[in-house]
Amino acid sequence: MASDLLSYLNSDVVAEPPREDEAKIFAQFLSIATQRHIYPRSIAAAKRAIFYLSSKGGRKSLGVISTDEVLLNKFAGKTSDVWLSDQPLPLKLCETTTANAAALRSIFSFLVPRTLGLKKSAGCGDRLGLATPGHIRAIRHSSMAPILAQQSIRENARTGRTPQEVMDDALWGIFQEGWRDGFGADADHLKTTDDIDSCAAAGFTFYTIDPGEHVDNEANTAPVDVLKEKIGVLPWAELETSWADTQTRLGKPVDLDDFKLAIDDEELLRAAAKYGRVVAHTVKMYRHLEKVMSGEPFELEMSVDETETVTTLAEHIYIAQELKRLGVKWVSLAPRYVGTFEKGVDYIGDLTEFEKSFAQHLAVAKTFGPYKLSLHSGSDKFSVYPIAARVAGELVHLKTAGTSYLEALRTIGKVNPPLFREIAGFARERYPIDRASYHVSGEVSEMPDPGSITDDKLTDLLDDFHAREILHVTFGSVLHHPDFREPFFSMLRANEEIYYEMLKTHFGKHFAPFGDVAAISG
């Protein structure tokens, strides 16, 4: 056993991962030698060194075994000896810091995020920094390309995390599970150039621009004379055009393959008045991003999903035409679809109408791209997934976030019902305040009283529409509360396998409609 591990250590290049049975044997040996739990899938070899992730007392550490002092000095930690084949070899035990994460990335390229292109993909948001292993276990059985580091600036503020911490937490989860098939990193819902700067510094590869504040929702129903006034004050210099030229460009029928669409004068007035400032802001953000990335590959998504009014087909065409004219390149776009995409619950609306509208939006995406249609607030939209998979094929991106937090609550409800009950009661109190920045319709008056539910039925709250939304949007208040934060994380760390398996099952339901396992090329 030790001799096999020693042979593995002698690899100069990045070695193939050990077989599952070998990894378990290696992990058992290292566990006995170091008195720590070893994650078998994490065991990797390169540069005549063995690397692995271990844990003890709820704290995780990177282990590096090597006789190369120069390599060991790249990592900060404490050095001792571990015996392999009657030989004492230096072992450095390192905390999971940003510096050690950077050193590990420099050795293993599979820990560096990359662009995913036009492959169907899924964003797995993780507000806690603990969910990535569970996400990967689901992804292993899926044909989706994963984005494993994803968090919005709003969520960072509410969880007290930085973009770098989001990136590093994902890295340790990826390393723990031995995922080598590539992943993306989504800097989500960026609104300012400062947002871009902080995320670029952390190494993100996918940038979701949120120009929602620049949408003029009044234009959706305003009379023509008001629309003309709005057109008159658009930032034409930033748009590098004029209204007359815009009418000339977009006044012709657009061939969308299966059908043609003629945008009439009023539709174009509405589209430009509603989204003109959106286009200008997106161009500004894109050009800043190009400058910051300095030639490094990146992908852009533009999102107007969190707005009051539906994005019409004419409006989608206006956005795509103008962004393309101004040199913006993007890989996905999230319009505001018909129906309602609320947080953590299934689609609300007519599915037949959604399918018809989604297919028309896809025709625009194929004509002006191709680019993917993005499903934001995509968690738990189980009735929509088969439609999106059937209609879009590869041209779809599914974005999830808060559902992983809800599965964390499910884990806590299973292992510590009193803590779950307290959190649920607190969430009812906080919901009227916390719901302000979300599109949700859950009502406290409709949520079952956690105090009247027996321990074995408590997690049924997570299957109730109103309770689910209330628990979903209050995550920030819960995580900042001094009575909840420490026991919340302690429970999850002590019961991480339960959490991972719940995530695997739950995300498996998300991914299954999009197809079975397929290797990610590259």
Catalytically annotated residues: 188, 301
* DSSP assignments along 136-150, one per residue: HHHHTTSSPEEEEEE
Q: Which residues contact 449 (CB under 8 A, 6 or more apart)?
A: none
Cα–Cα distance, 14 to 108 (Å, whole number): 7
Q: Which two tokens stand for residue 512?
A: 């299954």
82: Cα within 13 Å, side-chain hemisphere: 26
Cα–Cα distance, 516 to 512 (Å, whole number): 7
Give me the count of residues in the chain.
522
Place of tokens 């997690």: 459
Coil, helix or strand at residue 59: strand
Neighbours of 273 (CB within 10 A): 23
Cα–Cα distance, 197 to 285 (Å, whole number): 11
Place of tokens 């398996």: 501
For residue 261, the 8-state DSSP code is E
H/E run at residue 44? strand 44-46
Cα–Cα distance, 466 to 490 (Å, whole number): 27
Q: Which residues contact 232 (CB under 8 A, 6 or more apart)?
A: 243
Query: What's phi and psi for 398, nearest 5 deg?
Result: -105, 125
Beta bridge partners, 53, equal 62
332: nearest Cα among 376, 291, 290 = 376
Radius of gyration of the chain (CA): 25
Dihedral (CA of 350, 392, 334, 277) sign? negative
Cα–Cα distance, 372 to 378 (Å, whole number): 14
Q: Which two tokens stand for residue 340?
A: 């309602």
Cα–Cα distance, 409 to 403 (Å, whole number): 10
Helical residues (DSSP H) of 66-118, grouped into ranges: 69-72, 98-105
Question: Are 144 and 121 a contacting pair, CB within 8 Å?
Answer: yes
Q: At what angle do helices 402-415 and 417-434 cross, to 10 degrees?
A: 150
Question: Are 186 and 150 a contacting pair, CB within 8 Å?
Answer: yes
461: Cα within 13 Å, side-chain hemisphere: 36
Place of tokens 């669409």: 261
Give the end-to-end CA distance of the chain in Å, rounded to a whole number. Answer: 33
Q: Distance of CA 194 to CAs 197, 280, 288, 517, Å?
A: 5, 17, 10, 38
